[in-house]
Chain A
């Protein structure tokens, strides 16, 4: 027996493999571990889209509101103020007012103005539209992340995927109820508005159409608890959720959960002024287009604190408070892809793939020993080392193990012995030609090298393409395959070569090629 550099490297690699795969195998507290993919541990994976056109629409709407506000303030007579998804247009009755209208319109960020006689049309430049869309997506990601961070799950993933998709991954969701709660929290617009009830006309609300209401600058909103009840409120809100600084769950005198919110200084001022001027009237607290309550204003309310009461459970109130705190979504989101796996299915998948892994592994090991005798044993040592190194590398990188990833490991077991099969066949061939054991081993390795390299590189090319173009769980397959192939180069080529070099004097002395290589002597 003699040491050589190959066996030293191989031994170090085995030590590395064992040391770093222990945390994953034994699930120790410390150390880097392989994370299980959502398909194995259970969880929710979603790709969400953002209806960015809604963000543009709401910007258009706010331009319309500010045009009206401007005209009222400056006493400019305008007519036919209308807006659609793309633009706002109106007619200026007195052309002498045109310069000041134009000046006002020019101040609107990213807007282009076109004139046709006295009709002015304001729309967004393509750049501005893109900017609004981008902002809506970024803001949605930020908001969803804020909400999920407060939801209480460990390590939620919220990331942008591609140009316009949002990836949400929630591991450790245990029940469908929990999953639905998370989805509700994510998708909630959480747009809070405080609006003035139009007391002059509210009595007639049930006989009004939306168009009638619009004529007075009002809109009709349903009650949150009973959609049969309607309110007529001023379309332009007194203030909205952007002036909110905090929202918490509290309880009212009947011990029902309510949400207490606080406004910032500006909001508190506006709120104080409004309540002071409108004592005796009602204030509608509107959330996502529904009136939650419309209390009477008894006196001026300073300090900027308010309360939303509704018919909800403590849990619902808690989620609502989270949504309000993290701000409103500028545009609604929709589901593009969803994959949810229950924890029990994940556990079943782990069990099944482990059975396959162990079954395949045992079959290969037995077969190699039967066919190659000692050479088979040596190949098996390399195979086992390969598995440990594979696990160690995955643990170190904190790689994610998915079900296809497990399949990749199983496949690695079958394919990693290939290099040793090629080498052993070469050695056998040379021995039959009457070469000495030493020579047969050395030449066997060098003759086999080009075939092994070519074969592994082609498989690697396929794996890399899979990694780049694959999504989700399939990426896991590409990862385990690639690491398995690379590790097999180390173990099956370098490692076994080292073992042979260590043993070659013994093999040469015994000349029992049946024992060592499984050929008829």
Chain B
């Protein structure tokens, strides 16, 4: 089976203007959502308490609300269904520092008599730990980007590195925008998804860049747009295929992986789509925009080759002279 015609080169760069506009709109919209609606920080970063309760039949949410609201502790608690009608999650912004008796114990006592239930999960994150996790999270995001960039700049050219940052910012912005739009709880797993996404999106971009580099070195002409079109077309099957297989597994994770892994799978799902798109329509056009000059690159390569040859010659002379 083949998805794409082999002997046809698709004119991606011809459509880069439309893509550019679409990307700018999406990124700006995401920033607007992030600025106005904001991220819905979960307890890992904001601190707070989550209690997950499962009943042996449909959970009596109204009765639970009534019982819990009688206690001042649960004044601002949100009580919602979780995955199935049997299961309920109680979320609170407050946390208790008491080791002997915590909010889980209080909930168990308060819900006594509302039916057969089991407290399946109690997560408490104190404010200090929340702040630490936030700091660590930001640090890890920063370090991952820096590490990857240094590697790309080292392996390619600085314009490639800059183009890949722009693509990364694009991908992360839109994914976070989607996370904010759908009010997904932002916890450590979402951060892990974003970091995975960084690696994944860059992965895609690098495969295309690798081809562009190869194309530039091999080609006689100086038309970068043509080289890019050719390179993207040659890697299109791979880009699509890998995105598809990854999409398959993340989709099954999203559908069947259970409620706890939902936020993680959702973030990745959006990220894979955006990341695939960006490696074709964002990263490469930016190379054009920055005026990556094929002729100069050729000249540089030639210069380098010449220097090497000169060195080689001198060495040979030197060696023969000594001997």
Contacts and interface: CB of A to CB of B under 8 A. Distances in A.
Interface of A: 39, 46-49, 176, 180, 183-184, 186-188, 333-342, 344-345, 348-349, 352-353, 355-356, 359-361, 363-364, 367-368, 370-372, 403-404, 407, 410-411, 413-415, 417-418, 421-422, 425, 428-429, 432, 447, 450-451, 454-463, 465-466, 468-474, 477-478, 481, 518-520
A335 B1 contact: no
A429 B264 CA distance: 37
27 contacts: A49-B97, A180-B101, A336-B126, A341-B120, A344-B120, A353-B253, A356-B253, A356-B256, A360-B251, A367-B248, A407-B253, A407-B261, A411-B246, A415-B246, A418-B203, A421-B238, A425-B237, A459-B200, A460-B199, A461-B148, A461-B151, A461-B199, A465-B144, A465-B147, A469-B139, A470-B140, A520-B2
Contacts of A519: 2
A352 B261 contact: yes
B36 interface: no
A46 B122 CA distance: 11
Given A355-B256, A367-B244, A462-B199, A176 B119 contact: yes
B140 A334 contact: no
Nearest to B201: A458
Contact of B242 (A48, A188, A421): A421
A74 B125 CA distance: 53
B195 A462 contact: yes
B2 A518 contact: yes
B98 A451 contact: no
Contacts of B123: 338-340
Contacts of A360: 248-253
Nearest to A351: B258
B198 to A, nearest CB: 5
Secondary structure of the B contact surface, majority rule: helix
B129 A336 contact: yes
A348 B258 contact: yes
Interface residues of B, number: 80
Nearest to A370: B1
B305 interface: no
A184 B98 CA distance: 10
Given A335-B97, A469-B139, A474-B189, A340 B104 contact: yes
A411 B192 contact: no
A157 B105 CA distance: 23
B192 A466 contact: yes
B308 interface: no
A342 B118 contact: yes
Interface string B256-281: 11101100110010000000000000
Report which residue of B98, B237, B265 has the largest number of chain A beta carbons within 10 angstroms of its beta carbon.
B237
A414 B195 contact: no
Given A349-B260, A422-B207, A459 B199 contact: yes
Contacts of A472: 188
B121 A337 contact: no
Contacts of A478: 192
Interface string B161-204: 00000000000000000000000000011011001101110110
A477 B257 CA distance: 15
A469 B143 contact: yes
Interface string B87-130: 00000000111111110110010000000001111111110110
A289 B23 CA distance: 66
Contacts of B264: 404, 407
B18 interface: no
Contacts of B241: 371, 421, 425
B207 A371 contact: no
A337 B210 contact: no
Report which residue of B124, B151, B258 has the largest number of chain A beta carbons within 10 angstroms of its beta carbon.
B258
B15 interface: no
Contacts of A477: 192, 196
Contact of B124 (A337, A367, A425): A337
Q: Which 9 A-B pairs rank lowest in CB-CB distance, beginning with the nearest?
A: A360-B249, A352-B258, A462-B199, A469-B140, A187-B99, A414-B246, A414-B249, A459-B199, A345-B120
A183 B100 contact: yes
A455 B207 contact: yes
A478 B195 CA distance: 10
B137 interface: yes
Nearest to A485: B199
Given A338-B102, A461-B199, 6 more contacts: A344-B118, A345-B52, A411-B268, A414-B249, A418-B242, A461-B148
B196 A432 contact: no
Contacts of B99: 46, 48, 183, 186-187, 333-335
B155 A454 contact: yes
B249 A363 contact: yes
A455 B244 contact: no
A518 to B, nearest CB: 6
A367 B249 CA distance: 12
B133 interface: yes
